[in-house]
Amino acid sequence: MKNIIVICMGNSSRSQIAEGFLKYYTNDNYVIYNAGIIAAGVNSKAIKIMKEIGIDISNHTSNLVDEYSEINFDYIITVCDNAREFCPYIKGNGKRFYHNFPDPTFSIGTPKQVLDNFRKVRKMIRNYVIDFVKNELN
């Protein structure tokens, strides 16, 4: 089986959402990991907005990218500028991909506005993952 890792700075929202979509759209035909430069814990709002569309990420964990230093990754996806800039060496000759998604964790406004921003980022990540699976994995 091929390994995919998704990396963002805090490993709390964007990489968690991306992992959820990757697992969903690849039907568990790949081993999907997520990690961060720091491990900030899985954001409860990310869990909530994914559950709204039937994807449960409540069992995800927040991990440091260094925890996976012995794994050879076939695909390495960074989902923010900070992860791209500060990401440590990833073992293997994996194909690298990059997209800078806004961080919904720093959303401000009413609770509804914050959740709406999470949903907006969810939609962006979903579209990215659909294209990635279609163009790279099929």
Active site residue ranges: 8, 80, 87
Closest CA to 51 of 8, 115, 114: 115
Check: CB of residue 9 under 8 Å from CB of residue 37: yes
